[in-house]
A and B are shown apart, each in its own frame.
Chain A
Amino acid sequence: MSGELVKILDGNTFVVSDDTGDIEASLTDPTGLFSADTRFLSRWLLTVNGDRLTALSTDDLQYFKARFFLVPGTGTVYVDSKLTVIRTRSVGDGFHEELELFNHDESPVDLTVRIDVGADFADLFEVKDALQKKGTYSTEVQDGRLLLVYERETYRRETLISASSPAAYDEHGLTFEVHLDPKERWSTTVDVVTALLGAGVRKWHAKYAHGAKRARPNMEKDLETWVEEAPRVESDWEPLKATYRRSLVDLAALRFRPAIAAGGSLPAAGLPWFMAMFGRDSIFTSLQSLPFTPELAEVTLRTLAAFQGTHVDDFRDEDPGRILHEMRYGEMAAFEERPHTPYYGNADATALFVVLMDEYHRWTGDTKLVRELEQEARAALRWIDEYADLQGNGYISYKRRNEETGLENQCWKDSWDSISYHDGRLPGFPRATCELQGYAYDAKMRAARLARLVWKDVPFAERLEKEAADLKRRFNRDFWVDDGEFFAVALDADGVQVDSLTSNNGHLLWSGIVEKSKAKRVVEHLMGPRLFSGWGVRTLAEEEGRYNPIGYHVGTVWPFDNSFIAWGLRRYGFKQEAAQIAAGILDAAEFFDGRLPEAFGGYPRSLTRYPVQYPTACSPQAWSTGTPMLLLRTMLGLEPIDDHLIVDPGLPEGIGALAVLDIPGRWGHVDAFGRGLIDMERSGPRMGRQLGQPRVLSAKGSRSGKGGRRK
């Protein structure tokens, strides 16, 4: 066994095994069959005549299907086997596994094929935190199937195992006696079905029939359609096409179908541990992917609206109007040992919900949805004014009310040391981080547009614009660090500036809250050597007290962060700088075979020459997956204005020609073209594997592209 884990998934059901397909989990070991945030199988071991198997090769056929080529025996230098075992696994409501045995010998063989089975029904949180179970286990051997049960009061979860061929079932597994003549093949299928009982989701029938090769009859077709229906990307720069393709397929894998969305899906946060609804992650990813897969934004808006807070609930950090942070279905959420039913502890998703609603409307023209969600949009805006202003100073700030299991940091930089003063001290709570004010400003401005166009409430629009203008004026006064000429990352509980230089300045550009006169200085900081690594903008600038190039939010480069910074740069007309960030991040993507990690090291590009990945359990991560899509948008300068899509390219030179074909929207479908003319000198794409010291740009200008109307 190489130690490489094989992961397949469908929505929030996923299987993590070793490279032979076996699962042998301990409480802390993250392998198993998981569904609804619960581990339904922690043991799944295949043996032939008592021997474990060795993998010759493993194919991840699709994100929902894997195939393992195996031979009996382990640990020898080479194998000389007369027997081949092929194990093909597809995930569905549980999983479906086909076992095939081939006898290559010239004489017949009798084999005992056994699968050892066990389930610890651990909650995902227990796997992460190594906690002990409080309920009881039981096992039932029934006619032709094995039932594993976990119960705690009225809570009941079951795993049902059955095979298509005759087998002997016992409490610890199932055994097949197989006779194979020379050159003969034997096969069986085994279904593992999960059930949440009492919760009314009892289903004994997997979505697939015995003998069917697919977990869900149309899953392969569904993926094909997904890719076919998305816009096509053409470029002289081959790696960009591969990166886009990777993003599209990963985004398909990250789709999560909420039970209330009538089959529609929204982007979950990350694979596999964050295959759940997260307000912030779902919104950011929907924003990134809007030009390509706008249906994700629609389901995100609908679902987050349905679960919008309506109560004051301290345990869940819920207030009326607040958009959820995270929803979980496991035992700990059920027994309120964790607050995720759902948990509302974030300070950004509520404003971002309104931002997404407007951006979605600009692209799709879906006035109907915006009209339907008027009440929720108004409630979100009320939350900003009535519940989020903890300090009474007109700014959003956060301080958790659930001090035991709630989140301390309720902004995207959610680690304990992410928000610090220049000298490295940490501020107390409440904290008013700067980007929250930007989102609030943008939410008000965008809601004003919707109020005029859709809700037909001009006085409301005027009030919002007045509040936004006032917020902008105050913000530019209160957050501006005079001697450094950038925006402080936060105001502390006393209203004092938390004066470190951070990437948050880029989000401020994106939201539009930065006064024009200050934008140039902000951009110089973002693109200067303290923040810009050559690959992208660091979360925290060099020379800050807590700067650490491999610190989670204190020096690493986050692709998602950079995609929004690039959008912000475009918003303020800094085309070349936006192109430089796109070039750096897309260059980095090539090193990761098109799959951008959550974060990579903040080391200067000239030092490491390749991006150093930050170790993280989740890959792909949704907003990293969405990053290349948003960068395509910023490079082409795509902007929906009324019923037109404006194209205003600003491409790095090394990229050559770039076309995105069939961009869906209120205009039908249009194509966008651009040609890379902004000279990145040596830091541009195609130079990716060479030394790329960031340099001062010398712009040669950029030929404007065209938007051709089609269909």
Chain B
Amino acid sequence: MSDVISSFFKGLEDSGHQSLLERQRGKIRFDVLGGRRVDHWLVAVDRGDIAVSHGNGDADCVVRTDGPTLEGIVTGHVNTMAAFLRGQMTLEGDLEMLVFFRRIFPGPPDARGPARRTVEGVMS
């Protein structure tokens, strides 16, 4: 099991609450295929409150993917929508759950953001 993925979900669990998911209620499960085993991450969202478990329970949205793809996603190197269109993830159930969930995946780590000029000079 990837440490990167584990620590992402651990961090999520520790946060207890995600304000960007306050309109969401439901469960999303990530099934991560690695060789002959499948890891399950089940995230229950209740108006922003988060509970993470490692089980194979029922979910409103099931995302199937492989380790490297999910690692890329939780580190901001892979874009969720693009990976989905490429077929690196498949989805069963409520697509909206994933659309909202992507809010809490990190963005690209090397992003500069808009170059904004201030009275002192240029900041980025």
The reply to whether chain A is a binding partner of chain B is yes
In this assembly, does A405 line the interface, its C-beta being within 8 Å of a C-beta of chain B? no
The answer on a CB contact under 8 Å between A199 and B116 is no
The answer on a CB contact under 8 Å between B91 and A336 is no
Where chain A touches its partner, the secondary structure class is loop
Report how far A310 CA is from B18 CA in the complex, Å. 13
Within 8 Å by CB of B90, from A198, A315, A342, lies A198
The answer on a CB contact under 8 Å between A392 and B23 is no
Report how far A329 CA is from B85 CA in the complex, Å. 7
**Contacting residues, chain B, for A306 (C-beta < 8 A):** 96, 99-100
Report how far A552 CA is from B87 CA in the complex, Å. 39
In this assembly, does A341 line the interface, its C-beta being within 8 Å of a C-beta of chain B? yes
The answer on a CB contact under 8 Å between A387 and B96 is no
Within 8 Å by CB of A313, from B111, B117, B118, lies B111
**Contacting residues, chain B, for A206 (C-beta < 8 A):** none
In this assembly, does B106 line the interface, its C-beta being within 8 Å of a C-beta of chain A? yes
Within 8 Å by CB of B108, from A260, A310, A315, A333, lies A315
CB of B57, distance to nearest CB on chain A (Å): 20
Binary contact track B75-118/A, C-beta < 8 Å → 1, others 0? 01001011011111111100110011011101110011111111
The answer on a CB contact under 8 Å between A311 and B112 is no
The answer on a CB contact under 8 Å between B87 and A336 is no
The answer on a CB contact under 8 Å between B108 and A313 is yes
Given A312-B107, A389-B116, A390-B117, A156 and B87 touching (CB < 8 A)?
A: yes
Which of A153, A310, A333, A387 lies at the interface centre, i.e. has the most chain B CB atoms within 10 A of its CB?
Answer: A310
In this assembly, does A696 line the interface, its C-beta being within 8 Å of a C-beta of chain B? no
Which of B87, B102, B119 lies at the interface centre, i.e. has the most chain A CB atoms within 10 A of its CB?
Answer: B87
Which of A199, A313, A372, A401 lies at the interface centre, i.e. has the most chain B CB atoms within 10 A of its CB?
Answer: A199
CB of A504, distance to nearest CB on chain B (Å): 23
CB of A230, distance to nearest CB on chain B (Å): 28
The answer on a CB contact under 8 Å between A392 and B79 is no
In this assembly, does A132 line the interface, its C-beta being within 8 Å of a C-beta of chain B? no
Between-chain CB contacts (< 8 Å), 12 pairs:
A199-B90, A200-B91, A200-B92, A313-B108, A333-B85, A334-B87, A336-B79, A390-B114, A390-B115, A390-B117, A392-B118, A401-B113
The answer on a CB contact under 8 Å between B87 and A392 is no
In this assembly, does B22 line the interface, its C-beta being within 8 Å of a C-beta of chain A? yes
Within 8 Å by CB of A311, from B84, B87, B107, lies B107
Report how far A315 CA is from B77 CA in the complex, Å. 12
Q: Which 7 pairs, one residue from A and one from B, show the smallest C-beta to C-beta distance?
A: A198-B87, A311-B107, A334-B85, A154-B87, A200-B91, A341-B81, A200-B90
**Contacting residues, chain B, for A416 (C-beta < 8 A):** none
The count of A-to-B residue pairs whose CB atoms sit within 8 angstroms is 103
In this assembly, does A234 line the interface, its C-beta being within 8 Å of a C-beta of chain B? no
Where chain B touches its partner, the secondary structure class is mixed
The answer on a CB contact under 8 Å between A319 and B113 is yes
Report how far A588 CA is from B30 CA in the complex, Å. 55
Binary contact track A134-156/B, C-beta < 8 Å → 1, others 0? 00000000000000000001111
Given A306-B99, A307-B99, A155 and B81 touching (CB < 8 A)?
A: no
- Chain B positions 40-98 with a Cβ under 8 Å from a chain A Cβ: 76, 79, 81-82, 84-92, 95-96
**Contacting residues, chain A, for B91 (C-beta < 8 A):** 199-200
**Contacting residues, chain B, for A641 (C-beta < 8 A):** none
The answer on a CB contact under 8 Å between A199 and B87 is yes
Given known contacts A306-B100, A312-B107, A314-B111, what 13 new A-B pairs fall within 8 Å (CB)? A198-B87, A198-B89, A199-B87, A260-B99, A306-B99, A310-B104, A310-B107, A319-B114, A329-B85, A335-B82, A390-B116, A399-B115, A401-B112
Report how far A399 CA is from B118 CA in the complex, Å. 16
**Contacting residues, chain B, for A372 (C-beta < 8 A):** 23
Report how far A319 CA is from B106 CA in the complex, Å. 12
Report how far A318 CA is from B111 CA in the complex, Å. 10
Within 8 Å by CB of A310, from B20, B85, B95, B112, lies B20
In this assembly, does A690 line the interface, its C-beta being within 8 Å of a C-beta of chain B? no
Report how far A296 CA is from B107 CA in the complex, Å. 31
Report how far A319 CA is from B92 CA in the complex, Å. 29
In this assembly, does A391 line the interface, its C-beta being within 8 Å of a C-beta of chain B? yes
The answer on a CB contact under 8 Å between A259 and B95 is yes
Given A307-B99, A341-B81, A155 and B87 touching (CB < 8 A)?
A: yes
In this assembly, does A212 line the interface, its C-beta being within 8 Å of a C-beta of chain B? no
Given A341-B79, A401-B114, A375 and B22 touching (CB < 8 A)?
A: yes
CB of A486, distance to nearest CB on chain B (Å): 27
CB of B87, distance to nearest CB on chain A (Å): 2
CB of B90, distance to nearest CB on chain A (Å): 4
**Contacting residues, chain A, for B102 (C-beta < 8 A):** 310
Given A259-B95, A341-B81, A197 and B86 touching (CB < 8 A)?
A: no
Binary contact track A423-434/B, C-beta < 8 Å → 1, others 0? 000000000000
CB of A327, distance to nearest CB on chain B (Å): 8
**Contacting residues, chain B, for A313 (C-beta < 8 A):** 79, 107-108, 111
Binary contact track A345-375/B, C-beta < 8 Å → 1, others 0? 0000000000000000000000000001001
CB of A177, distance to nearest CB on chain B (Å): 39
Report how far A310 CA is from B89 CA in the complex, Å. 21
**Contacting residues, chain A, for B106 (C-beta < 8 A):** 311
Binary contact track A40-60/B, C-beta < 8 Å → 1, others 0? 000000000000000000000
**Contacting residues, chain A, for B111 (C-beta < 8 A):** 311-314
The answer on a CB contact under 8 Å between B82 and A392 is no
Given A260-B99, A307-B99, A311-B106, A392 and B116 touching (CB < 8 A)?
A: yes
- Chain A positions 317-345 with a Cβ under 8 Å from a chain B Cβ: 318-319, 329, 333-336, 341-342
The answer on a CB contact under 8 Å between A342 and B81 is yes
CB of B76, distance to nearest CB on chain A (Å): 8
**Contacting residues, chain B, for A391 (C-beta < 8 A):** 116-117
The answer on a CB contact under 8 Å between A318 and B107 is yes
Report how far A156 CA is from B86 CA in the complex, Å. 8
**Contacting residues, chain B, for A375 (C-beta < 8 A):** 19-20, 22-23
**Contacting residues, chain A, for B23 (C-beta < 8 A):** 372, 375
**Contacting residues, chain B, for A319 (C-beta < 8 A):** 113-114
Report how far A682 CA is from B7 CA in the complex, Å. 74
Within 8 Å by CB of B86, from A314, A334, A399, lies A334
Report how far A240 CA is from B84 CA in the complex, Å. 46
With CB as the reference atom, state the residue of chain B lying closest to A388: B114
Which of B22, B86, B104 lies at the interface centre, i.e. has the most chain A CB atoms within 10 A of its CB?
Answer: B86
